[in-house]
Amino acid sequence: MFRIAIIGGGIIGTSIAYFLAGHARDPGSIVLVEQEQDVSKHTSSRNTGKVHAPFLYDPVKKKLFAKAAALGFEMWEKYAKEKSLPFEQDGVLEVATDERGIDRLDKYMEWGQKNGLAKEELRLLDKGEVAAMEPNVRCEAAIYCSKDGSVDYGLLTKALLQDLKSFGCNVLLGHRANSISYDGIYRITTEQGRQIDAQYIVNAAGGNAMDIAHGMGVAKDYTDMHFRGEYWQAPAQYRDLTKLSIYSVPKHPEYPFLDPHWIVRVDGRREVGPNAVPVFGPHAYSWGKNLSDMIPKILESSRTGARKVFFDKKFLSLASVELKSSLSKTAMINRVREFLPQIRASYFTKRGTSGIRSSVIDKEGRFVSDTMILKKDSSTHILNYNSPGATGALPMAAMMASQIMEAGFLPVAERPRTLWEASAVAARMA
């Protein structure tokens, strides 16, 4: 019998286990259950690796992520330093290629200031100033944000795993939670035949979290749709093309389609991506796996709000652009050539590692903008946990762990073993 079982060893589940085990009087009363043989095998190590500055997030509509991104930078910087893992404060340029984009930049400046960025950390640049800073970039205007970083979230998650194991937390790898029953306490039965009894469950199963929530009678009015983000690795001759990562203002922010970026990775590699290709499952990295997920997802979509999305002409037209950029390398690279005209598709020969995001749709067929943290009985469900989910993982986890402890589900030790006191971080998230 465990006090708390956390399902999913991605960056958020592992961070929650880190805070709970780091504060528990008995860390052995907590178990982290992960279906793979290691943590962060899915989205948490298959992303762009950016510690996003909070200027991109509406402080009202994306309140949780705006707060989490603001805190995430200093927390990851401290944690990476503690573990001698790479953390580069390398900055980002957010470019507008037309008038509408410039209006959006004005909005970002306002959000950035409201979300706590200092004036010297966020600068609006005109065309000439951009040319002086990054001569190969073409745009009408841009925001330069110096407080944006690059990391390897897969490595950071693995370091958290080592920490929570050293605190005494139980970790069950290679076990997929299959069914969950509730009779005052929860019983999780894994596909591999183990039974885990727990008083409290945290559902942090990433792309599978919605299915688990539905199985437990939560979020019945919602469903999800999966989008594969693909990358192309840039050849060595493009290494000096820019110093900064270059993002372009999203043309359709109400949909989960960002335009691909020019990325400077923490290890120095340059990449183009990600696009956002609709796929049928959270692990559909290959077209074969995608086909096997197709029938169940289509059946589910026909019963939920997702079916309305298929009558949304704008969504369909945007999705077709994404599909085209999946099938054609030239179509993908051309999207970045809009602001970095020197690159040539023919020089790109290697794909990068793709990752899948799962976006939640309400019963009206609208995409939900913020993350959803839902509670029922003695369970917490983390849904729609998309970008900047990795950036915000530590503050979000501290907040959720603090709520669970405050509700009396876990007797706490006198002194935390973590780098931060969870309740102090939670207070800054309020």
Ligand X SMILES: Cc1cc2nc3c(=O)[nH]c(=O)nc-3n(C[C@H](O)[C@H](O)[C@H](O)COP(=O)(O)OP(=O)(O)OC[C@H]3O[C@@H](n4cnc5c(N)ncnc54)[C@H](O)[C@@H]3O)c2cc1C
Residues in contact with ligand X by the rule CB under 6 A: 7-13, 33-36, 40-44, 47-50, 52, 176-177, 204-208, 229, 274, 355-357, 385-391
User: Cβ(54)–Cβ(66) under 8 Å?
Assistant: yes
Least distance to ligand X, CB of residue 262, Å: 13
309: left (phi over 0), alpha (psi -120 to 50) or beta: alpha
Least distance to ligand X, CB of residue 129, Å: 25
Sign of the dihedral through C-alpha 212, 217, 219, 225: positive
Which amino acid, residue 211? D
Least distance to ligand X, CB of residue 392, Å: 7
Least distance to ligand X, CB of residue 358, Å: 8
Q: Is 262 helix (H, G, I), strand (E, B) or coil?
A: strand
Least distance to ligand X, CB of residue 34, Å: 5
Number of neighbouring beta carbons within 10 Å of residue 162: 10
Of 141 and 148, CB closest to ligand X? 148
User: Cβ(224)–Cβ(383) under 8 Å?
Assistant: yes
Of 177 and 333, CB closest to ligand X? 177
CA dihedral 75, 76, 79, 83 (to 10 degrees): -170
Sign of the dihedral through C-alpha 56, 60, 61, 63: positive
Measured between its terminal Cα atoms, the distance across the chain in Å is: 33
Of 159 and 412, CB closest to ligand X? 159
Of 141 and 246, CB closest to ligand X? 246
Least distance to ligand X, CB of residue 426, Å: 19
Instruction: Give the list of residues 6+ apart from residue 99 with CB closer than 8 angstroms, or none.
Output: 140
Structure-token pair, residue 348: 């790109």
Least distance to ligand X, CB of residue 273, Å: 7
Of 2 and 141, CB closest to ligand X? 2
Of 141 and 392, CB closest to ligand X? 392
221: left (phi over 0), alpha (psi -120 to 50) or beta: alpha
Of 339 and 385, CB closest to ligand X? 385
